[in-house]
Structure 1
Amino acid sequence: MDVERADVVVIGGGQSGLASARALVRQGLKPVVLEASDRAAGSWPRYYDSLTLFSPARYSSLPGLLFHGDLDRYPHRDDVVAYLTDYAARLDADIRTGCRVRAVRRTGDSFEVETEGGDRLVARAVVAASGSFGRPHRPELPGLDTFTGTVLHAADYRDPAPFAGQRVIVVGAGNSAVQIAAELAEVARVTLATRGAVRYAQRILGRDLHFWLTRTGIDRAPLGRFLSTPPGQPVFDDGRCRAALTHGAPDRRPVFTGIDGAKVTWADGVREEVDAIVLATGYRPDLPYLACLDGALDVAGRPRHREGRSLTHPGLAFTGLEWQRSLTSNSLRGTGRDVVRTARRLAALLGRH
């Protein structure tokens, strides 16, 4: 099969990949975007049905296109899918769906990108923008592997209907954990199991927190390189989830200390039978296709980079990573800022200014 040549191959057609494509085009480059799914919206169509952004629409846009509708509303999953689909349609870039990347290899001063369909592209630069949805994090919890009930990650959760009338534990303290636990509590008896107290933040002096983060510049500050262990972010809530927890539906407890069959043991020694455990415990960068590039990833499969630039392979860039450069690097608006810097670096490397 013939080998195709491209300026830059962008792996992933979600928010980071689409923003990268726009930034690269504006630098005079011709990117080819390879998206594994059947549409250019990344992982958003596969998130749970009721997912709601924790930032208002006015703070959730990619460069070049404001979010649709009321800018003070908190968009839902389908709003984001529609927005990204529209964004992709407006781009002057070669976006190919149904193209899952199998491997990236070094060949001289270029990279060879091979898809699962057998296509091969050679490019001087590669942007890994495939996100993390494909690699859900399942922490080591006492007895979890022996649990005889249902265990699923938030990546596989869609709606509360299958859990009606059940006893459910949701593990996690982030936005998704709290949203899912509060939703499930409407049809089931639910406990939110966390390692510490849930921290909330949304409005200060009548303004959404994102207004202050933007006004002060905190969410643009280059913090990533200084944080070996990034702090956990607070839950951004309009008050409904916090009220649900306050009223005990769901209740909150420390993470269980053991499991025997379908029975869970809590820290106070109480044992009870549980039907399902939902792990809202986050994700890790999903980059198996870089395994052939020596030193690109560490032993845990995490990218070795500085502010999105590979430490070992010139021309390889990462985007959309949590704390890549700032606290919003893996958000819609944050990745939009980061990719501009990445595109400029790649343009200079390829001799385009």
Structure 2
Amino acid sequence: MTARTAPLLVIGGGQAGLSTAHTARTLGLAPVVLEAGDRPAGSWPHYYDSLTLFSPARRSALPGSSFPGNPDRYPARDEVVAYLAGYAARLDADIRTGHRVERITRTEGVFEAVTAAGDVVAAPLVIAATGAFSRPHRPPLPGLDAFSGTVLHASDYRRPEPFAGKRVVVVGGGNSAVQIAIELAAVADVTLATRRPLRFMPQRIAGRDVHIWLWRTGLDTAGWARPLLAGGKATPVMDTGTYRTAIASGNPDRRPLFVRLDGEDAVWEGGVREHVDVVLLATGYRPDAGYLAGLGALDEHGTPLQRAGVSTTVPGLGYVGLEWQRSFASATLRGVGADARHVLTRLRRAAGHAGTGA
């Protein structure tokens, strides 16, 4: 089996992989990008229909290409997919869709990636850019596995109509959980169940989007800001006031997480039981980097062992697109470019790369 060689191999052709490819070209490297899907859009085509960005278009662009249209609007899911497709088409990079990487090995300083179809690409440097949103997280909630109703993850949710008239419990307290619960509440009886009280962050401050202020103050890209923006608190929900008003009205109602699920019932604190048709888990995602398992690059939970995107166990391996990889913006359209430059610069320096790659 003959391997195609490249100076840099990028796994994943979504926002993290495309920004990495762009940055690599500015550094003189000719990357090969392997994307499992049929188009270079990452997870975006699989999100729910009504999803819009939580940051305005002017703060939602990849390096080298502004987001088209009104810079103060909040682009919808399909606009992001189209933006990524256009970005990929303009890149001077070898992007191969339909190439799912199954495993990566490393011998004498050279990585070899083997795809599901048996193709092999070899490179001295690898960036795992499959991001933080490729593996839906299903927490071990009491009784969940034996629940006789329907259990869905937010990754399976598309639109509210199929849930009309049903009793739905949405589990989660982040932006997507709140947005989905409020959308479902128009057609169903919905409870938003969270471990902690909801934490709202104003979408606009003094007439400007909060992301503009985060950028101007440097908090958006400051690693030290994590305790301030996240810490042990609930994930902040961006809100113009609409979400807070809807929750305060009781439609949907917000409750502490149920004690357990039992058959077709949810058992709440105090022993109150009620029938539930659907439990929808808006409980986030985890990195899907199983193709790195044989390298010793992951911990026992499959989480990358890394510092600021550089592997702490495997020389020549880096990551782009992980949540809080370096900052609040790390897993976002606006943040992946800076992280890609940081990681590539350090990997090349460690490997002694001074010239260009072709």
Fold shared, TM-score > 0.5 on shorter chain: yes
Larger displacement relative to structure 2 (155-164 or 9-18)? 155-164
Matched, 1:249 2:254: no
Residues in 2 aligned to 1:186 and 1:5: alpha-carbon distance in whole angstroms: 54
Q: What does the per-residue CA deviation read over 1:58-111, in whole Å, with 9 as the maximum and x for residues that have no partner? A: 111111011111111111111110111111111000000000000010111110
Partner of 2:57: 57
Partner of 2:187: 187
How far residue 52 of structure 1 moved from its aligned partner, in angstroms, is 1.2
How far residue 161 of structure 1 moved from its aligned partner, in angstroms, is 1.3
How far residue 158 of structure 1 moved from its aligned partner, in angstroms, is 0.8
Q: What does the per-residue CA deviation read over 1:259-287, in whole Å, with 9 as the maximum and x for residues that have no partner? A: 22111111133211010000000011110
Residues in 1 aligned to 2:192 and 2:226: alpha-carbon distance in whole angstroms: 32
Query: TM-score, normalization: structure 1?
Result: 0.96
Verify the 8 A CA contact 2:173 2:235 in the aligned structure 1. Answer: no
Name the CA shift for 1:148/1:229 in 2 (closer, same or farther; >3 Å): same
Verify the 8 A CA contact 1:225 1:325 in the aligned structure 2. Answer: no
Query: TM-score, normalization: structure 2?
Result: 0.95
Larger displacement relative to structure 2 (3-12 or 334-343)? 334-343
Residues in 2 aligned to 1:333 and 1:223: alpha-carbon distance in whole angstroms: 18
Partner of 1:154: 154
Question: Aligned with 2:334: secondary structure?
Answer: helix
Decide which of 277, 291, 294 is 2:293's aligned counterpart: 291
Verify the 8 A CA contact 1:223 1:323 in the aligned structure 2. Answer: no
How far residue 36 of structure 1 moved from its aligned partner, in angstroms, is 0.2
Question: Aligned with 1:332: secondary structure?
Answer: coil
Question: Aligned with 1:236: secondary structure?
Answer: strand
Q: What does the per-residue CA deviation read over 1:170-222, in whole Å, with 9 as the maximum and x for residues that have no partner? A: 00000000010001001100000001111111222222111110000011112
Residues in 2 aligned to 1:198 and 1:226: alpha-carbon distance in whole angstroms: 17
Partner of 2:217: 216
Partner of 1:234: 236
Residues in 1 aligned to 2:170 and 2:18: alpha-carbon distance in whole angstroms: 33
Name the CA shift for 1:224/1:329 in 2 (closer, same or farther; >3 Å): farther
How far residue 345 of structure 1 moved from its aligned partner, in angstroms, is 2.2
Matches within 5 A, 1:62-211: 62-201=62-201, 202-211=203-212
Question: Aligned with 1:256: secondary structure?
Answer: coil
Name the CA shift for 1:134/1:222 in 2 (closer, same or farther; >3 Å): closer
Question: Aligned with 1:75: secondary structure?
Answer: coil
Name the CA shift for 1:196/1:33 in 2 (closer, same or farther; >3 Å): same
Over the matched positions of the two proteins, sequence identity in percent amounts to 59
How far residue 229 of structure 1 moved from its aligned partner, in angstroms, is 6.5
How far residue 231 of structure 1 moved from its aligned partner, in angstroms, is 4.9
Matched, 1:352 2:354: yes
Name the CA shift for 1:70/1:220 in 2 (closer, same or farther; >3 Å): same
Partner of 1:322: 323
Residues in 2 aligned to 1:293 and 1:106: alpha-carbon distance in whole angstroms: 7
Verify the 8 A CA contact 2:299 2:305 in the aligned structure 1. Answer: yes
Question: Aligned with 1:9: secondary structure?
Answer: strand
For structure 2, list consecutive stretches of 5 or more residues without a partner in the other structure.
none
Amino acid at match of 2:189: R
How far residue 225 of structure 1 moved from its aligned partner, in angstroms, is 9.2
Matched, 1:338 2:344: no
Q: What does the per-residue CA deviation read over 1:100-133, in whole Å, with 9 as the maximum and x for residues that have no partner? A: 0000101111101110110011100000001233
Residues in 1 aligned to 2:175 and 2:212: alpha-carbon distance in whole angstroms: 19
Verify the 8 A CA contact 1:10 1:31 in the aligned structure 2. Answer: yes
Amino acid at match of 1:272: E
Amino acid at match of 1:3: A
Residues in 2 aligned to 1:230 and 1:317: alpha-carbon distance in whole angstroms: 27
Residues in 2 aligned to 1:226 and 1:196: alpha-carbon distance in whole angstroms: 17
Residues in 1 aligned to 2:210 and 2:44: alpha-carbon distance in whole angstroms: 24
Verify the 8 A CA contact 1:138 1:281 in the aligned structure 2. Answer: yes
Q: What does the per-residue CA deviation read over 1:284-316, in whole Å, with 9 as the maximum and x for residues that have no partner? A: 11100001102x111111000110000011110
Residues in 2 aligned to 1:230 and 1:178: alpha-carbon distance in whole angstroms: 19
Verify the 8 A CA contact 1:223 1:325 in the aligned structure 2. Answer: no
Amino acid at match of 2:74: Y
Question: Aligned with 1:200: secondary structure?
Answer: strand
Verify the 8 A CA contact 1:58 1:67 in the aligned structure 2. Answer: yes
Partner of 2:314: 313
